[in-house]
Chains A and B, each alone.
Chain A
Amino acid sequence: MSHFNDIGNLMHLYLDEIDPGEGTDAPAFLIKATAHLLNQKGGQNSVPIIVKEVGEDKYELIGNSFIYAVAEEAGLERVWCIVTDGKDDTIEVTQVLAGEKIPKINLSKASRDEIAAALEYLIEQPGSILKTVKLAIATNRIDEAPRQYWKTFEPIVNLKCGITKGKKLDALKQVFYLTPQSMPDTITDPDILKTMSITDLKAIAKKRGITGISKMKKDALVEALSNSKPN
């Protein structure tokens, strides 16, 4: 179905052949005023809309939805478009490049500087829910935590850096994702052990042949494991 030779081409397509998808959040003023300007200055959108081909003379918008909205408002019959292959990776990159989506970084592996930059971005957003978070403190504590093993963002709550469960923690998901390593059974570092659940700790303790496990509380388990030799 896809005409692969069109990919990467700049094409002057009929606006009504393009499905706008979700549309844009841009304020009405910007759309109207830009449409007015565009009409006055010749009606050619010099920044193209990014689309993928979905059928014969049928396209779907994947990037620059603002320009689509402007063209619609301006009453343009045809718009300049770049036709892409429409793969998921292409769609993601296009939306990030068009500034329509925030890129995410891998918190499991990110460097300290990357974490600091991402947190700074979130904190400095207008009206940010994280505006009370101290950048230096949050960066230090998250960077030093055993985040390579985190399966969720929950352990951040325990770092006491002003990021509490709920909206604040959820805000981090805008910029971070996790690709956790499995926790090796050989761990003896108490700081890492503390972040594990009791069930996981008991499973490791059993493997290492520690006795009296069923009566132990978490602190005791952590201590026993940090002093035990991995098999």
Chain B
Amino acid sequence: MNMTAISLRSALQCLPDNAQEPIVDLHFSTQLLEALGFQPEEIHPQYATGSKMVVDKAARKTIGNDIFLHTKSNPYLLVELKGRDINLSEGSAQYHKTVNQLKGYLLDSNCKSAQWGIITNSCHIQLFRKHGKVVYPATKCLSLDLDNIDEIVADIRRKIETPTKALTIAVYNNKGGVGKATTAVNLAAILTFLGKKVLAVDFDPNQQDLTSSLKLAVSKGNVYKALSDRDIELLNTVCPYSFPLKSGNAELRFDVLPADEEMASLTDDSLLKQFKRNRLYQKLNTARQKYDYILIDSPPNWRHISQLAVYAADVVLIPTKHNNLFSLENAATVIKRFIPEIQAQKANGSPIPLPIFFNGEKITQPQLLVAQQEINNIIKAAKQEKIDLLPYFYPRHTSAKDLHIHQVPSYANIASAAFSRVPAVYRDRSAHEYYKDLAKEYFLQ
């Protein structure tokens, strides 16, 4: 271990200031991958990620006789290298280009098994995690020097050797009434149907919609206590929700952390004294190894409870309504201000916003044009502040002006499911298909 640490440092020391990609590849990448725990036969250079694209390095540990260099199957880590002439500091144009390049590789057809991606030019390095279809940062984009490189690479190695199982999703928009609880509960239900292990967290103590829509009892202080007391395990306060299937004794089952009524009565001031912003994140530590997905329904506004929910998340899913300008403007505020505020504090690059989707009534063509006009104005205004909102509103927009925004139409059956105390996706075939579509569009590869 010590040996490799020294050689990585000396590799960095020996690199010329203007080293271009082939030099970084030859004199740095081998030592980097070795320091990350990969042997030469576990690394494949110029790995074909699909039918067209090639990534600089792919790596996987040997499993039995399955040596990655020989079988080229199931890559675990992809590395995209750049020369020092490419500026990879966060926010630069080349940084964005490189991140998008890495995402393309991670989501390509030969890389379904890949869980990690690294971009580096030996001056900067950033680690990304892939969970299903979602690629999100696992570190900030870090600047490397002789003093910190060993520590940074050791930290990256720790992360890739012990990946968290769960993707934590906060469903949030500071505008109310956009269907946050409906989205959270139906996504939890459909992911469960698709064989995933799911925890749904009702973190909206005032509305308690998620808890009551499943006919579960509201917590009378237990959840609050588990959150405040460092010695109580939060998962002990979880309630199972189960839905019997018609055939045989089978049932669908996911866990719910119910809303706590005691938390509803507390002011922000007293909550601030009890919880730091990272409290829910800390308390979900065991849950992150137990579940495939953790979905958090958060309250509207940007109060302390919402901040805890967003802090706990890897990604933030933002429902909007096409016919509600405020829900679109507020989505922009969440992306421009609230999420960066949490990112700055959390220091691992997460959470990141996912592209918005339209949740609500069926959209006619003229209505869509009005919504697009509003969005164009919002994007234009953000550009003045040097923030690019385009990928969060129009994720498919390239040189082709594709203005696609994902839609989940809501209709009587989805709304009335709240009264029948069963998630709409278990009662209604159309709702089932729409939320499956949402899950596959955003989360499942």
Do the beta carbons of A136 and B433 come within 8 Å of each other? yes
Interface string of A129-161 (1 = CB under 8 A from B): 000001011011100000000000000000000
Do the beta carbons of A134 and B440 come within 8 Å of each other? no
Number of A-B contacts (CB under 8 A): 19
Checking A111, A136, A137 against B109 with a beta-carbon cut-off of 8 angstroms, the contacting residue is A111
Rounded to whole Å, the gap between the CB of A102 and the closest CB of chain B is 16
Assembly CA distance A137 to B432 (angstroms): 9
Q: Which residues of A contact B437 (CB under 8 A)?
A: 136-137, 139-140
Category for how many chain B residues contact A = under 10
Is A112 an interface residue when CB atoms closer than 8 A count as contact?
yes
Do the beta carbons of B440 and A112 come within 8 Å of each other? yes
Checking A111, A112, A120, A140 against B433 with a beta-carbon cut-off of 8 angstroms, the contacting residue is A140
Is B430 an interface residue when CB atoms closer than 8 A count as contact?
yes
Q: Whose C-beta in chain B lies nearest to the C-beta of A141?
A: B433
Q: Whose C-beta in chain A lies nearest to the C-beta of B440?
A: A112
Interface centre among A120, A136, A137, A141 (most CB of B within 10 A): A136
Do the beta carbons of A134 and B433 come within 8 Å of each other? yes
Interface centre among B109, B434, B437 (most CB of A within 10 A): B437
Assembly CA distance A96 to B434 (angstroms): 33
Q: Which residues of B contact A140 (CB under 8 A)?
A: 433, 436-437, 440
Assembly CA distance A147 to B437 (angstroms): 19
Interface string of B407-437 (1 = CB under 8 A from A): 0000000000000000000000010011011
Q: Which residues of B contact A139 (CB under 8 A)?
A: 437
* Residues of chain A in range 103-136 having any CB-CB distance to chain B below 8 Å: 111-112, 120, 134, 136
Interface string of B361-400 (1 = CB under 8 A from A): 0000000000000000000000000000000000000000
Assembly CA distance A112 to B404 (angstroms): 16
Assembly CA distance A134 to B436 (angstroms): 13
Assembly CA distance A37 to B437 (angstroms): 48
Do the beta carbons of A137 and B440 come within 8 Å of each other? no
Rounded to whole Å, the gap between the CB of B426 and the closest CB of chain A is 16
Rounded to whole Å, the gap between the CB of B192 and the closest CB of chain A is 17
Q: Which residues of B contact A137 (CB under 8 A)?
A: 430, 433-434, 437
Assembly CA distance A112 to B439 (angstroms): 13
Interface string of A81-94 (1 = CB under 8 A from B): 00000000000000
Assembly CA distance A87 to B80 (angstroms): 39
Rounded to whole Å, the gap between the CB of B134 and the closest CB of chain A is 15
Assembly CA distance A137 to B407 (angstroms): 12
Do the beta carbons of B430 and A134 come within 8 Å of each other? yes
* Residues of chain A in range 134-191 having any CB-CB distance to chain B below 8 Å: 134, 136-137, 139-141
Q: Which residues of A contact B440 (CB under 8 A)?
A: 112, 140
Rounded to whole Å, the gap between the CB of A134 and the closest CB of chain B is 7
Rounded to whole Å, the gap between the CB of A100 and the closest CB of chain B is 18
Q: Which residues of B contact A134 (CB under 8 A)?
A: 430, 433
Rounded to whole Å, the gap between the CB of A13 and the closest CB of chain B is 32
* Residues of chain A in range 40-74 having any CB-CB distance to chain B below 8 Å: none
Rounded to whole Å, the gap between the CB of B340 and the closest CB of chain A is 29
Q: Whose C-beta in chain A lies nearest to the C-beta of B429?
A: A137
Q: Which residues of B contact A111 (CB under 8 A)?
A: 109
Rounded to whole Å, the gap between the CB of B401 and the closest CB of chain A is 14
Assembly CA distance A147 to B382 (angstroms): 45
Assembly CA distance A150 to B440 (angstroms): 23
Assembly CA distance A209 to B332 (angstroms): 65
Assembly CA distance A137 to B435 (angstroms): 10
Assembly CA distance A112 to B434 (angstroms): 15
* Residues of chain A in range 196-228 having any CB-CB distance to chain B below 8 Å: none
Assembly CA distance A120 to B405 (angstroms): 12
Q: Whose C-beta in chain A lies nearest to the C-beta of B438?
A: A136
Rounded to whole Å, the gap between the CB of A127 and the closest CB of chain B is 13
Q: Which residues of A contact B434 (CB under 8 A)?
A: 136-137
Assembly CA distance A137 to B436 (angstroms): 9
Rounded to whole Å, the gap between the CB of B186 and the closest CB of chain A is 13
Interface string of A18-51 (1 = CB under 8 A from B): 0000000000000000000000000000000000
Q: Which residues of A contact B433 (CB under 8 A)?
A: 134, 136-137, 140-141
Assembly CA distance A134 to B437 (angstroms): 11
Q: Whose C-beta in chain B lies nearest to the C-beta of A136?
A: B437
Q: Which residues of B contact A112 (CB under 8 A)?
A: 440
Interface string of B187-228 (1 = CB under 8 A from A): 000000000000000000000000000000000000000000
Assembly CA distance A111 to B437 (angstroms): 14
Q: Whose C-beta in chain B lies nearest to the C-beta of A137?
A: B433
Please name 19 pairs of A and B residues whose Cβ atoms are closer than 8 Å in the assembled complex, sorted by A: A111-B109, A112-B440, A120-B404, A134-B430, A134-B433, A136-B433, A136-B434, A136-B436, A136-B437, A137-B430, A137-B433, A137-B434, A137-B437, A139-B437, A140-B433, A140-B436, A140-B437, A140-B440, A141-B433
Chain A interfacial positions (CB closer than 8 Å to B): 111-112, 120, 134, 136-137, 139-141
Closest 4 CB pairs of A and B: A136-B437, A137-B433, A140-B433, A136-B434
Additional A-B contact list (16), CB under 8 Å, known A112-B440, A137-B434, A140-B437: A111-B109, A120-B404, A134-B430, A134-B433, A136-B433, A136-B434, A136-B436, A136-B437, A137-B430, A137-B433, A137-B437, A139-B437, A140-B433, A140-B436, A140-B440, A141-B433
Chain B interfacial positions (CB closer than 8 Å to A): 109, 404, 430, 433-434, 436-437, 440
